[in-house]
Copies of this chain bind each other. A is one copy, B any other.
Amino acid sequence: MLSNTYHRFAGSNLERLAALSDGIFAVAMTLLVLDLHVPSIEPPGGAGPLWAAGAWHAEHALWSALVGLAPRVLVYLLGFLTLGIFWIGQQTQLNHFERSDRRLTWIHLAFLLVVAVMPFSTSLLAEYTALRVALLVYWLHLLMLGALLLASLRYAARAGLIRDDGPATAGMRAAAERRIVVAQALYALAVVLGAVSTYLSVGLIIALQLNSALAPRIRPLDRY
C-alpha cells in the first residue's frame, strides 16, 4: 500500500529524465571524439617561414599522419550521426508523453546505458572495421536502441502516459513504430552484407544514417 504510493511517484518527472538524457548524450557524443589522439611525428620541425629550407617536410609528415586518421574519423562520424538520430527519436517521444512512471523511466535508463556504451562499440568498430564481430557488436547496439524506443512507445501507450493531442495521436504513434521497424530492417540487411565485406556494411549504414539525418530526400525510403 505505502510502497505503491512510493512507486506511483517515483520517476514521474519527465523534465529530469530529459535533462539526464541530454547530459548522457552530450558526454557520449564528446567522448566519441576523445579517442582521436593527436598523432606524434618525428621530428616535429617547423617554426620558419614556409619558404625556408625543409619547411615543407614537417608539414608533409603531419599531413600524412592526419590523413591516416581519416577512416577512423569516418567511423566517429557514423557514431555521432547514430547518437544524433536516436537523440531526436527519444526527444520526439518524450515531447509527446504526459508524464513518466517508474517502469518507463527504467526503459529509458536502459536506453541511456546503451548510449553510454556507444563510444566503446564505436571505438571497437574503428579499430577492427574489417572484422564481423566488431560489426555485430555495433549492430547489436543499434538493435537495442531501436528495441528500447519501441518498448518505450508501446509501454507508454498501454499505461496511458501519452498526451492526447486529438485524432493525430494514433497515426503519429503508428508512424513512429513503422519508422523504427523499417530502419532496423535496413540495418539488419546492411549487416548481412557484411559476410561479403564489412566495409560495404559500414558504408551502407553511414548512407542510411545520412539519409535519416538529411531526410526526406530518398522518396521510396521516406514512405515509411
Contacts and interface: CB of A to CB of B under 8 A. Distances in A.
Contacts of A34: 31, 119
Interface stretch (A17-25, A142-150, A154-162): A17-25
Given A18-B16, A88-B11, A50 B172 contact: no
Nearest to A105: B88
Contacts of A131: 44-46, 58-59, 62
Contacts of A49: 195-197
A36 B123 CA distance: 11
Contacts of A5: 168, 171-172, 175
B91 A215 contact: no
Contacts of A20: 22, 25-26, 87
The interface size bin for chain A is 35 or more
Interface of A, secondary structure class, is: helix
Copies in the complex: 4
Contacts of A29: 24, 112-113, 116
A79 to B, nearest CB: 10
Contacts of A87: 20, 109
A222 interface: yes
Contact of A2 (B3, B16, B175, B214): B175
B3 A171 contact: no
Given A3-B224, A63-B133, 13 more contacts: A2-B172, A2-B178, A3-B175, A6-B92, A20-B26, A24-B26, A38-B124, A46-B130, A47-B197, A47-B199, A58-B131, A62-B128, A77-B113
16 contacts: A2-B171, A3-B222, A6-B176, A7-B216, A9-B172, A11-B88, A13-B95, A16-B18, A16-B22, A23-B25, A30-B116, A33-B116, A49-B196, A59-B131, A84-B106, A87-B109
Interface of A: 2-7, 9-13, 16, 18-20, 22-34, 36, 38, 40-41, 44-47, 49-50, 58-59, 62-63, 66, 77, 80, 84, 87-89, 91-92, 94-96, 102, 105-106, 109, 112-113, 116-117, 119-120, 123-124, 127-134, 137, 168, 171-172, 174-176, 178-179, 195-199, 213-216, 222-224
